[in-house]
Structure 1
Amino acid sequence: MNARDPSLPLQADEVSALGAFAEQVWDEEIIPALKDYIAIPAKSPMFDADWAQHGYIDRVVRDAASWVESKKVPGLKLEVIRLEGRTPVIFFELPATKSGSTDTVLLYGHLDKQPEFNGWRNDLGPWTPKYEDGKLYGRGGADDGYAIYASLTALMALDRQGVPRPRCVGLIETCEESGSFDLPAYVDVLKDRLGTVSLVVCLDSGAGDYDRLWMTTSLRGMVSGVLKVEVLTEGIHSGDSSGAVPSSFRILRHLLDRLEDSATGRLLPESFHCEIPGARLEQARATAAILKDEVYKRMPWACGADGGPVLPVTTDPVEVLLNRTWRPTLSVVGAEGFPELKNAGNVMRPYTAFKLSLRLPPLVDGNEAALRLKALLEDNAPYNAKVSFVPDGRAGAFGANGWNTPDLAPWLSQVLEEASQAHFEAPVGYIGQGGTIPLMGMLQKSFPAAQMMVCGVLGPKSNAHGPNEFLHVPYGKRLTAAVAQVIAAHP
């Protein structure tokens, strides 16, 4: 066992050494590895039904696993686990170096990616990595291909200095962007090997800015699926049919009016809302005081009617934060049944289909919401049109649950503040996120006493899922060192 007294806090030189080691590994090894990773179109199964045949997911898994094994960390064991018909996961473990430690720290990330999207800068592309001004551009680097590399680097930083730490395991999946529908089976298979998890480090979240360590306090749930309205078996001349045949688009608009107030964006069914806990309201006010109007000004607004930018839903920073973290919202993220503009003749189209993304407050059950949404949209269809809403969820789970972090233990609250001051020279920040990480709810149910450190590099304009996604490398380096410091303080 290590000779260093584990009861002593890290000294200034040790903290500095964590940062220096993280910076070196990022510059020499992680950035090159991520460039290779970005170049591989390892799209999540929802966006690549033939993922197994294409082999891209297997490739990024193989590359990441090989990188981990090449570090030859003493005691490290790694396995790529493949259940029949499911996307693979990487599971690695490192034995404790802290005498008497029996608990486990679980580090989580994922390697599957969102699809390409359009609108990338002319010199950029989703599968064309480019490192410029401290930003590594390309799909998946920030969301969150870096996680496995940063996780192992944090552990290596501790072992290199002889800083005692608990047993650590890594769980890296390849189905997160599809709702993690494969993950419960793996968590069940691995439950005995996971051990007694008392701290979860999840590197798949965001940051309010790049000036401090940010902790995620909540995540929204989600229901996504395809709403389709059919009125004809084939397209016919619009001059001959309009006024007799109801427009499938108009019917779809009518159905969405059941769900959303189009004037305000408020979701109408009260069952999709929940009471916002008082602690989260206070944190939103504190975060609004830090970020001010940057919470909405950071968006890439188009030029509006008067020559100024398009206006946000609200300019109250507190309300912006609550809207994107604790209130339900609807987005139409795809459409089908429309020809391209250049091919759009005067034809009454036979059907209209929208891909809906309904973000839910953290305390609303995703599966129940999906069933309510399906009934709301399908029942009593106007004109007796054929209406269907098909959720994306699989294996009986039609929606993903959100997550609200448990209260922080005093030791974790203290070390988060210390780590933020040490590596960012600023107090730690707390912020809710509008995205969804299904694993967090799963792990909280499996390990209700575990502390949660949910964080990530997705700060202003990093634009995960959209064009010009980038990883803010200086932030990634400091975050890696902060994670190491937190693990070192694990009691």
Structure 2
Amino acid sequence: MQSNKTAELSALVEKSITARFDGYMDQLARLVAIPSIAWDAFDPSNLTKSAETVAGLFRELNFFDEIEIVSAPTEESGQGAPAILARRQAKNGKPQILLYAHHDVQPPGDLSVWNSEPFELKILGDRAYGRGAADDKAGILVHLGSLQILQELSEIDPDLGISLFIEGEEEAGSPSFENFLNLNAKKLQADVIIVADSGNWTTEIPAMTTSLRGLVAQTFTIKTLDHALHSGMYGGVVPDATMALIKVLAKLYNEDGSVAIDGLETFKVQPLPYTTEQLRVDSGLLPTVEPLSKEDHLQALWGDPAVTVIGIDMPSVELSSNTLQPAVTAKVSLRIAPGQNPETALALLREHLLKSAPFGSQIEFGENEAGNPYLDDPGWAKKEFQNALQQSFGVEPVDMGVGGSIPFIASLKKIFPSAQILITGVEDPDSRAHSPNESLHIPSFKKAIQAQSLFLLGISQTHPQE
């Protein structure tokens, strides 16, 4: 039950956001129009333009002591993408809050599958379509809007400390992330970190993300010959690398499609109602195809390991010939349960691949990556944010897991071990982040700004104790 004071503040916040909301949608259209893709194959000047545009929006607030566009070196001796960094120091014992989002986006993919131009915001009903509309340019504007409301509705200049980090390479794997954190640790130091890069349970039920699976990926080449052969002259006697690869990849799975790699851990997730029918709607599963999990789909999505073959290098159908291949290369992606050590999982994956190699074929390992899973450690900030979500959405929020990985969360926890991390966001099951026709549910966007505004206003007036 809301107190009269809480209800009054919530009404004021909603009124202010409503008055500003057309402006937020215009700003979102400006950001979506910039193809800020941090992959090497795309024009890096768009990342610079995006960073400058975002920095300009926050400079208009006249809130921060300084706002910079900075980058950091990568582990491969390159230079990372431009990021926006700002800080306003806390005063009089108030907490320091770090607001994180990212301004880079995924490539558009197959343009023929889009129902609109990917880099042009298109509104249809209660959804806004465009690359980055949900992931994560709306997240940037949640931060911007909540700071505007904090300024407008604070009776005096707020003593709350705010740091800002808008990354420019999250979709490219954050290659300079840890270097950036180490180089700018003093400016980023915070009591609470709000990561606006996740989503809600539904468009009606808000959520906080409390667990993430980790990620292990391994590229490997399998060899059976020292040169290619005519498939008619030697086929049926000489095993080629393609045959060997098919057998290796098939052994990643049990007969029911579950992961066959021994030694991997699982994590028991909290149950939420989720039917097979809803899974079909959310995933686009064809009517004739059965899901791998038969009952507890969320356990399989959030708490169990999953393996996917994400790439194979061999001749395309267009360039194919009657040839036995001497060597082919594949990349395997393994999602690991919260609590699983990624180095251990990588060793188990490699061991499994080696044991599966048939006919004495040889496996050589190439590049690999490993990202830690995440489990939240709830404190006072989570409780306050849950209250703000309930005021904004009108229903009690839920804790949810995410089957995907956000490896930089573990980096934040490593470098700022005492900080409470809150993972929020504006996405919903139909946002289709990373896919064609990515979209933002506009009412959820508005409520997300309201919730974060209420959180910041609340803790700026009364700092809850742990």
In the superposition, the TM-score normalised over structure 2's length comes to 0.87
Q: In 1, Cα distance between the equivalents of 2:421 and 2:232?
A: 60
Q: Which amino acid aligns with 1:407?
A: P
- Return closer, same or farther for 1:125/1:391 CA change in 2, 3 Å cut-off: farther
Deviations 1:172-217 (A, max 9, x none): 112222332311111111112223x221111111222010221111
Structure 1 equivalent of residue 50 of structure 2: 60
Answer yes or no: is 1:429 the counterpart of 2:390: no
| Other structure's SS at 1:127 match | coil
Q: In 2, Cα distance between the equivalents of 1:187 and 1:254?
A: 43
Structure 2 equivalent of residue 4 of structure 1: none
2:70 pairs with one of 70, 75, 81 = 81
| Other structure's SS at 2:69 match | strand
2:282 pairs with one of 294, 299, 309 = 299
Q: In 2, Cα distance between the equivalents of 1:120 and 1:371?
A: 40
Would the aligned equivalents of 1:205 and 1:454 in 2 still touch at CA under 8 Å?
Answer: yes
Deviations 1:380-436 (A, max 9, x none): 8434444233334xxxxx301011000233x642x3443233221111111101121
Deviations 1:64-88 (A, max 9, x none): 112221x233344211112342222
**How many pairs are equivalent?**
451
Q: Which amino acid aligns with 1:115?
A: P
Would the aligned equivalents of 1:338 and 1:352 in 2 still touch at CA under 8 Å?
Answer: no
| Other structure's SS at 1:37 match | helix
| Other structure's SS at 1:325 match | helix
| Pairs within 5 Å for 1:408-447 | 408-409=379-380, 412-413=382-383, 415-447=384-416
Answer yes or no: is 1:470 the counterpart of 2:449: no
| Other structure's SS at 2:311 match | strand
- Return closer, same or farther for 1:438/1:375 CA change in 2, 3 Å cut-off: same
User: Which piece of structure 1 moves more, 349-358 or 197-206?
Assistant: 349-358
Deviations 1:413-465 (A, max 9, x none): 2x344323322111111110112112222222333333222111221121112
| Other structure's SS at 2:331 match | strand
User: Which piece of structure 1 moves more, 85-94 or 34-43?
Assistant: 34-43
Shift of 1:92: 1.4
Q: In 2, Cα distance between the equivalents of 1:24 and 1:246?
A: 69
Q: In 2, Cα distance between the equivalents of 1:241 and 1:42?
A: 50
- Return closer, same or farther for 1:258/1:309 CA change in 2, 3 Å cut-off: closer
- Return closer, same or farther for 1:224/1:128 CA change in 2, 3 Å cut-off: farther
Q: Which amino acid aligns with 2:40?
A: A
Would the aligned equivalents of 1:43 and 1:115 in 2 still touch at CA under 8 Å?
Answer: yes
Shift of 1:480: 1.4
1:72 pairs with one of 23, 39, 61 = 61
Shift of 1:106: 0.9
- Return closer, same or farther for 1:27/1:363 CA change in 2, 3 Å cut-off: same
Q: In 2, Cα distance between the equivalents of 1:208 and 1:152?
A: 23
Answer yes or no: is 1:241 the counterpart of 2:234: yes
Would the aligned equivalents of 2:199 and 2:428 in 1 still touch at CA under 8 Å?
Answer: yes
Structure 2 equivalent of residue 19 of structure 1: 14
Q: In 1, Cα distance between the equivalents of 2:29 and 2:229?
A: 50
Would the aligned equivalents of 1:220 and 1:434 in 2 still touch at CA under 8 Å?
Answer: yes
Structure 1 equivalent of residue 76 of structure 2: none
Q: In 2, Cα distance between the equivalents of 1:230 and 1:27?
A: 59
In the superposition, the TM-score normalised over structure 1's length comes to 0.83
Would the aligned equivalents of 1:223 and 1:358 in 2 still touch at CA under 8 Å?
Answer: yes
Answer yes or no: is 1:104 the counterpart of 2:96: yes
| Other structure's SS at 2:312 match | strand
- Return closer, same or farther for 1:367/1:324 CA change in 2, 3 Å cut-off: same
Would the aligned equivalents of 2:182 and 2:415 in 1 still touch at CA under 8 Å?
Answer: no
- Return closer, same or farther for 1:219/1:42 CA change in 2, 3 Å cut-off: same
Q: In 2, Cα distance between the equivalents of 1:350 and 1:299?
A: 41
Structure 1 equivalent of residue 334 of structure 2: 358
Structure 2 equivalent of residue 395 of structure 1: none
Would the aligned equivalents of 1:73 and 1:156 in 2 still touch at CA under 8 Å?
Answer: no
Q: In 2, Cα distance between the equivalents of 1:458 and 1:189?
A: 31
Answer yes or no: is 1:90 the counterpart of 2:84: yes
Would the aligned equivalents of 1:370 and 1:391 in 2 still touch at CA under 8 Å?
Answer: no
Shift of 1:234: 6.0
Would the aligned equivalents of 2:207 and 2:424 in 1 still touch at CA under 8 Å?
Answer: yes
Structure 1 equivalent of residue 291 of structure 2: 312
1:138 pairs with one of 130, 147, 160 = 130
Deviations 1:251-295 (A, max 9, x none): 12332345432533224221x31443xxxx3xx22x22xx44465
Q: In 1, Cα distance between the equivalents of 2:152 and 2:348?
A: 53
Q: Which amino acid aligns with 1:389?
A: F
Q: In 2, Cα distance between the equivalents of 1:431 and 1:245?
A: 51
Deviations 1:71-130 (A, max 9, x none): 23334421111234222221112344xx62343111111122223333754532443432
Q: In 1, Cα distance between the equivalents of 2:450 and 2:345?
A: 39
Would the aligned equivalents of 2:94 and 2:159 in 1 still touch at CA under 8 Å?
Answer: no
Would the aligned equivalents of 2:373 and 2:407 in 1 still touch at CA under 8 Å?
Answer: yes
Shift of 1:481: 1.1
- Return closer, same or farther for 1:260/1:170 CA change in 2, 3 Å cut-off: same
Q: Which amino acid aligns with 1:192?
A: K
Would the aligned equivalents of 1:106 and 1:171 in 2 still touch at CA under 8 Å?
Answer: yes
Would the aligned equivalents of 1:217 and 1:405 in 2 still touch at CA under 8 Å?
Answer: yes
Deviations 1:197-251 (A, max 9, x none): 2211111112220102211110111112433324456654422232133232331
**TM-align CA RMSD:** 2.7
Answer yes or no: is 1:33 the counterpart of 2:27: yes
| Other structure's SS at 1:456 match | strand
Structure 2 equivalent of residue 273 of structure 1: 265
Structure 1 equivalent of residue 305 of structure 2: 328
Percent sequence identity over matched residues? Answer: 24
Gap regions ≥5 residues in structure 1? 1-7, 393-397
Q: Which amino acid aligns with 2:49?
A: R
Shift of 1:379: 6.4
Q: In 2, Cα distance between the equivalents of 1:412 and 1:368?
A: 31
| Other structure's SS at 2:309 match | strand
Gap regions ≥5 residues in structure 2? 74-78
